[in-house]
Amino acid sequence: MLRPANPPRRELSELASRFARDVRGEVNGVTLSGITLATADLRTGEAFVAIRGVNRHGAEFAATAAEKGAVAIITDEDGADIAEPAGLPVLIVDDPRAVLGALSAWVYGTGAGEPLPLLFATTGTNGKTSVSHLLEGILGQLGVVTGLSSTAERHIAGEVIVSRLTTPEASEMHALLALMRERDVEAVAVEVSAQALSRHRVDGIRFDVAGFTNLSHDHLDDYADMEEYFEAKLALFRPDRATRAVVCLDSPSGATVAQRSEIPVVTVGTPSIAADPEGAARADWVVVIDDERASGTTFTLTGPAGRLTTTVPVIGPHMAANAALAIVMLLEGGYEWDRIASALDRDGGILAHLPGRTQLVSGDTGPVVFVDFGHSPDAFEKTLAAVRRVTPGKVLMLFGADGDRDASKRFDMARTAVEGSDILVVTDHHPRFEDPDSIRATLVAGARATRPDAQIHEYSPPEAAIVAAVGLVGEGDSILWAGPGHQDYRDIRGVRTPYSARELARRALRAAGWPVPDSHWPVPYPDED
């Protein structure tokens, strides 16, 4: 967990008076410098928040927290009984997770009204990470010191830290904002998942601008149905969460967000890809696609402040829509239109790195290989269509599905994959505790039911699958490897096995005799001979 080097010092007695309904032990004269959910991250002088988990109560680790220098335990009534023998002051709250955001904001001085960088939040099923990295890239072109919190990475004024959660827990999020403030970060792009909103990970934060990309089938292992999933995301568009909103109208849910938002809304639409082209054309800002190449997508954005034509360095009209959303979010955040337009014109387009987002990992000749993080039917459909438009030959789709995650979308993933490709290769992704053979069988069955005559192959593990895939294509063809994106591990029965689809693809191309670029991503494998 990242923290400020010089955190504020807070009186435990004041924390108790503000948040606790009961206290066991002496709190007077005790100060704290931080707050955390995990004893592994705990530092001397911090409070440990003990939350009931699926199998155990966090209060069972109170003694460990005391040994590591915790000054207090914050927990519920049940946890208090467990934690009291550790000998630390115990502050009792009704729901520790629900109050964690407010607690963390108070401890780190990062709540609404506190001096903070400009905060941009992006939510939606697909595109959150892309928009966040595009925001960061354009801000960098404006000369702004930036911060980023995304699925792929955390960035603090140029320093890169690999991410594990789309949105960190509230205690980590507030500590991160305090650290960014300490390092003179001026603006921060934050990816906000539905789970982050439901699980209180962004509580205590009010964003200056909230952006919405789209909504499609995903995460029904966490939510009862699509309506519940949508309502979770809609919570970002309330005055306690954000000040202004920018909403993309390309999916049907966009219009509903714009209508139900409780904060001022500006809309963006791309008629050529929108579910409702006429509705998208009536947006405040309209995107027109001018050109698509393997190296990027050129588009024109027109709205109340003016008109600009620029290029986003990834394929697909949906990426142009993401870039337009980012530009309008910056405008709504207070950056001048002429300043944005001039920077993009000066640099010949948007200068942003989107790790594992339709990332080109092949060389100048041979099959073109893209590695992508998309793992939903909607993401597959959009990305395959984009790959098709820049491919003169065959399109090969390589993918797998998550184990122990929303199994209801697997058939649709397989259907979309086989419909959009000439060759389909099914492999493993994160099996977790599921049988990978069974996952692959479901995907193959779904694909064959959709196109019985399709060319469908099955290989395990992914290391073998990409070698086979490269052998099935040639010059003028493309491979889309969807799912792994930037990730540097595979989850196999709870063990994170080092993994890089980008590097595996590069090595498979090289072994087949094709030129390849140098690796500019983490490589968790031994050096090649």
Overall domain count for the chain: 3
Residue 252, classed as helix, strand or coil, is helix
Closest CA to 360 of 370, 372, 350: 370
CATH number for 139: 3.40.1190.10
Domain assignment of residue 3, yes or no: no
pLDDT digits (tens, 9 = 90+) for 426-453: 999 999 999 999 999 999 999 999 999 9
Is 318 in the same domain as 410? no
- Preceding peptide of 4 cis, ω within 30°: no
Is 256 in the same domain as 318? yes
Is 204 in the same domain as 272? yes
Query: Residue 329: what pLDDT?
Result: 98
Query: Residue 222: what pLDDT?
Result: 59
Is 380 in the same domain as 283? no
Distance CA 429, CA 431 (A): 6
- Is a pLDDT exceeding 70 seen at residue 218? no
Q: Residue 99: which domain range?
A: 10-108
- Is a pLDDT exceeding 70 seen at residue 219? no
Cβ-contact 389, 480 below 8 angstroms: no
- Is a pLDDT exceeding 60 seen at residue 223? no
Domain assignment of residue 525, yes or no: no
- Is a pLDDT exceeding 70 seen at residue 170? yes
CATH number for 493: 3.90.190.20
Domain assignment of residue 4, yes or no: no
> In whole numbers, what is the pLDDT of the chain averaged over residues?
93
Domain assignment of residue 455, yes or no: yes
Give 399's strand partners: 426, 482
Domain assignment of residue 456, yes or no: yes
Range from 139-153, 163-177, 184-198 carrying the lowest mean pLDDT: 163-177
Place of tokens 């694909």: 447
CATH number for 68: 3.40.1390.10
Query: Residue 107: what pLDDT?
Result: 96
pTM attached to this predicted model: 0.88
pLDDT digits (tens, 9 = 90+) for 460-493: 999 999 999 999 999 999 999 999 998 999 999 9
Query: Residue 221: what pLDDT?
Result: 53
In three-state form (DSSP H/G/I as H, E/B as E, the rest C), the secondary structure along 382-411 is HHHHHHHHCCCCCEEEEECCCCCCCHHHHH
Query: Residue 289: what pLDDT?
Result: 98
The number of beta carbons lying within 10 Å of the beta carbon of residue 241 is 21
Domain assignment of residue 529, yes or no: no
Domain assignment of residue 268, yes or no: yes
Is 300 in the same domain as 341? yes
Is 484 in the same domain as 458? yes
- Is a pLDDT exceeding 90 seen at residue 227? no
**Rounded mean pLDDT of 316-329?**
96
Cβ-contact 448, 457 below 8 angstroms: no
Is 308 in the same domain as 403? no
